[in-house]
Amino acid sequence: MFVSSASATPLLMGVFALVMVGTYVLIATEKIHKTLAAAAGALIVLVLGVWTGVFPYGDLYQFVAKDLNVLGVIIGTSVLVEVVGNSGLFHFIAIRIVKATGGDPRRLFTALVLLTFLFVTFLTIVPAMLVLSSLVIVVTRTLALDARPYMMGIALAANAGACTTLASGLPNLMIGTAAGLGYVDFLVATLPFSFLALGLVWVVVRLMYGKALPEAANSAEVEARKQQVQDFDEWALVKDPRVFKRAAIILGLTVVGFMVARPLGLGLDFIAVAGGTAALFLSGLDVEKTFRQVNWAVVLFFVALFTLIGAVEETGLLEVIAGSLETVIGSSVQLGLGLFCFATGVLSGIVDNIPVAATMVPVVRGLESVDSGPLWWAVALGANLGGSLTPIGSIAGVIAIHTLKKEANQRVGWGEFLKVGGTLFLVQVIAAIAYLIVMESLGFLPEGSQ
Amino acid sequence: MNQQRDIDHALTEIDENIHLFERTLKKRTDLPEVSASRVLALSDGSNQDESVLRLAELVADRLGAELVRRELGPGGGEAPLTDDRDRLPFEVLEQIDEQSIGLVVLPTPFLEDYPSLGATSLGVVADVLLARSPVPMIHVRQPLEDPRAVLESGVLVCLEADPETRRAAAWLWRLVPGPLQVLVALASAEHHAILKFSRGEEQPVTLEDIGQKLGEQISPLLATMQERARQEGRRVEGHAYPDELREVLVQESFPLCLVVVPGREDPDHTGPLARECVRYTRGPVLVVP
């Protein structure tokens, strides 16, 4: 049964919307693996689209091609992070920082949230959390400290760090690609706010867990703690100093490459793949084994998600949603900033922020009567900050809670997380909206090239 | 939930990272205090007697201990057990107990000098003392041209950083002022692991796993010795030997120095290690029970 018309009827849009919402519900509820859920949704809309004549089958490749750079960045950075992680560099930096705190619980807390922020900025959330949640467990065990404030601190700091650059998080990459925003644009627009968001993490977690961050009772205790952290040997995990130095140089060059990619006419995916290849070439690691460490399920998830969103976009449904939003916000950019930042944040706290960002991209692109330029930033900040709202809002929170339970036998339930993370989310989102309004009124928000 | 598998995967990686970070923690393993107020020198009329006496004098001097001498009679410890001689080692043990002897120096001739003794026995007195002595013993294997030079450097042969090994390290530290080596016997460790596995104590492991495990166990002790060495301007090196220990000890290049080895009565444990060291080392061997 073929429909000859290329424009979708409201009924057909409704069917596509149902499939998309159903897929998101499956992703959010984790009833089936998110890659499988996205693949099933993509297959259904693909068949529907082709059979009803909304788009020809060949358009499928256009849906994926638009965001192909995202896949390149995921694969390239995965290889790079694997090689650099193997060199012992991340563990080395982490231990150096811990030793610099002298084992003081409050300085340790500050150092750990700062370190998380730094690691997420350059490595994204998952690799950073795998290293730092382990460090929190070992250090708090060694110093006999309550692990909860530290673990919650790093989980929430990770979401703040994810706002920082174009490569800090996958939502940023999708938004940056769609809006034509570069790495430096992100640094200009979001870096100052990221520091503000990090400061808010520090304040909120310290207020909520003040008693769990004790001051040393006497000088003997201070000395004992200092001695305990001095017992960590940062060189112990550096297997080969030559590989260690090379890994540090390649990582540094890759970060610089991200910054200068645009002026050089290159994409972030090229820089990431070049960095990963150079790291692999100079490390002597087993190539096949290293490639097995790439999260191929996430790569396939993106392929399926881009297909799903692309197919739904072809029906005109997302333009209809954009039109509805325009009637709400009128021509007020300020109202648009507030609405998009808050809505994206709340949705990202409930569903994975990647499908939320992927859906918001065509919606923002479909706005006609409002200047969509500033709204990209609202979506970017909302998608990252939303992770702090609930325990399932971000992989950082999920890792923190499960690690606490397994390794420290400490439970952080929904109530406790909502109290800390929910409070933080509200404060951060309000701050983000205010920040964006001020930046927009001053004309400091970079505009994309698309 | 299917994504529980993702979380489990992440938790496994976190477990590995925790293990890595714990490996970076230098565990403090202080050397225990060791001392002896009396050193007993045994002689049996063999050509090692003079070396035993000179070495015992040096050791007593370094420990600030009194030297006590005992004649075992011609042929002493090396004669086969007979009704007349089977009391000898037990009389030595009684003397150790009654006179508060803290260390014994005895002749234990090298195997090639007494081929008729067979492959396993070290001689009557040495055999019994090796199994039962409550105090450290220095087995003098062959005449020493310069006993003082032998005490200028030393090697600790060990399997793990158990209390016996730490005591052995402390004795080595006390008696030898010069450079030291810590030799981790991997092949024996594999044997040890297999024995433990056969007793249902742990899962089978590869030689590589054992090497890593041993490294983790020995490294705190080695780190402690190296830290002290730095403070005192000395040198301590650690080596792992994956070969048969015997092959290492009989090498011409193996230094003629004091070899120290932990020893226990448990025949499945370091007992064979101590016996193997005494059998194949040309220099004096200090066995620390």
**B38-43 sheet: strands from edge to edge:** B66-71, B38-43, B103-107, B137-140, B285-288, B258-262, B154-158, B180-185, B236-241
Residue with tokens 């080692």: B89
Report which of B273, B259, B242 is spatially closest to residue B168, judged by C-alpha positions: B259
Helices (H), A315-421: 317-329, 333-350, 353-365, 373-385, 395-408, 414-417
CB contact under 8 A, A134 and B25: no
Task: Give the minimum alpha-carbon distance from A94 to chain B in angstroms, rounded to a whole number.
Answer: 10
Q: Say how many C-beta atoms besides its own lie within 10 A of residue B156's C-beta.
A: 29
**Side-chain half-sphere exposure of A337, counting CA atoms within 13 A:** 22
**Nearest-CA distance from A374 to chain B in Å?**
35
Which residues in chain B (25-84) have CB-CB distances under 8 A to chain A? 25-28
Nearest chain B residue to A133, by CA: B14
Q: What is the pLDDT of residues B225-269, one digit of tens each?
A: 877 787 788 888 777 665 566 677 777 777 788 888 887 555 444
How much of chain B, in percent, has pLDDT values that exceed 70?
Answer: 69
Cβ atoms of A424 and A388 closer than 8 Å: yes
Nearest Cα of chain B lies from the Cα of A122 at a distance, in angstroms, of: 19
Contact A260/B at CB under 8 A: no
Write the residue in A32, A233, A403 that is nearest to B24 by C-beta: A233
Q: What is the pTM of this model?
A: 0.66
B21 with A95: Cβ contact below 8 A: yes
Q: How far apart are CA A316 and CA A313, in angstroms?
A: 5
Candidates A61, A179, A127, A159; CA nearest to A298 is: A127
A395 CB-near residues (< 8 Å, 6+ apart): A125, A126, A129, A387
Which one, of A181, A171, A196, A162, lies nearest residue A373 by Cα? A181
Backbone phi and psi for residue B27, each to the nearest 5 degrees, phi listed first: -80, 135
Assign B201 to helix, strand or coil. coil
Query: Model confidence over A73-110: pLDDT tens digits?
Result: 999 999 999 999 889 899 999 999 999 999 999 999 99
Q: What is the predicted pLDDT for the residue at A279? A: 93
The count of CB pairs under 8 A between chains A and B is 71
The rounded distance, in Å, linking the Cα atoms of A79 and A287 is 9
Interface test with B, best of A130, A234, A405 (most B CBs within 10 A): A130
pLDDT in tens, A355-394: 899 889 989 988 887 788 899 999 999 999 999 999 988 9
Q: Are A243 and A87 in contact (CB under 8 A)?
A: yes
Q: Do A31 and B23 touch (CB under 8 A)?
A: no
Q: Residue A336 CB: number of other CB atoms within 10 A?
A: 25
The whole-number pLDDT of residue A101 equals: 94
Asked if B24 and A33 come within 8 Å (Cβ–Cβ), the reply is no
pLDDT digits (tens, 9 = 90+) for A208-228: 998 888 887 777 788 888 888
Distance from C-alpha of A348 to C-alpha of A384, rounded to nearest angstrom:
8
Pairwise CA distance, residues A202 & B144, whole Å? 70
The pLDDT, as a whole number, for residue A7 is 59
In chain B, residues with a C-beta closer than 8 Å to the C-beta of A36 are: 2
Record: contact B14-A34, CB cut-off 8 A: no
Can you give A66-119 as a three-state secondary structure string? CCHHHHHHHHHHHHHHHHHHHHCHHHHHHHHHHHHCCCCHHHHHHHHHHHHHHH
- Residue A406's alpha-carbon distances to A136, A187, A333, in angstroms, are 13, 37, 46
Q: How many CB atoms lie within 10 A of CB A348?
A: 30
Residues of A whose CB is below 8 A from B25? 138, 142, 231-233
The pLDDT of residue B275 is: 80
Residue burial A97-133, b: 16+ Cβ < 10 Å; e: rest: bbbebbbbbeebbbbbbebbbbbbbbbbbbbbbbbbb
Cα B26 from Cα B17, distance rounded (Å): 16
Interface check B17 vs A, CB under 8 A: yes
- Going by the DSSP 8-state scheme, the letter that residue B54 receives in this structure is H
Show the DSSP H helices in A3-33 as ranges: 10-29
Q: Are A112 and A135 in contact (CB under 8 A)?
A: yes
Q: Do B17 and A237 touch (CB under 8 A)?
A: no
Amino acid (1-letter code) at residue A314? E
Residue B213: pLDDT over 70: no
Check if B10 contacts A (Cβ < 8 Å): yes
Strand partners, A232: B25
Q: What's the maximum distance between 2 C-alpha atoms anywhere in chain A?
A: 83
Alpha-carbon Rg for chain B, nearest whole angstrom, is 21
The residue ranges of chain A whose pLDDT is under 70 are 1-7, 449-450
At residue B127, what are phi and psi to the nearest 5 degrees? -60, -50
Minimum Cα–Cα distance from B28: chain A residue: A231
ipTM of the complex: 0.84
Separation of alpha carbons A154 and B280, rounded Å? 57
- For residue B265, count other CB atoms closer than 10 A to its CB: 12
A330-339, B18-27, B107-116: the lowest-pLDDT one: B107-116
Backbone angles phi, psi at A174, to 5 degrees: -65, -45
B86 touches chain A (CB under 8 A): no
Report the C-alpha gap between A64 and A300 in whole angstroms: 11
Alpha helices in A144-218 (DSSP H): 147-161, 170-179, 183-208
Chain A residues within an 8 Å CB radius of B3: 30, 33-34
Counted residue by residue, chain A has a size of 450
Confidence of residue B205 (pLDDT cuts 50, 70, 90): very low
B222: number of Cβ within 10 Å: 21
Do residue B14 and residue A231 have CB atoms under 8 angstroms apart? no
Q: Which amino acid is at A195?
A: F
Q: Which of B2, B7, B18 sits opposite A402 (nearest CB)?
A: B7
Looking at this protein, which amino acid is placed at residue B81? L
Q: Where are the beta strands (DSSP E) in B72-177?
A: 103-107, 137-140, 154-158
B6: chain A residues, CB-CB within 8 Å? 33, 297
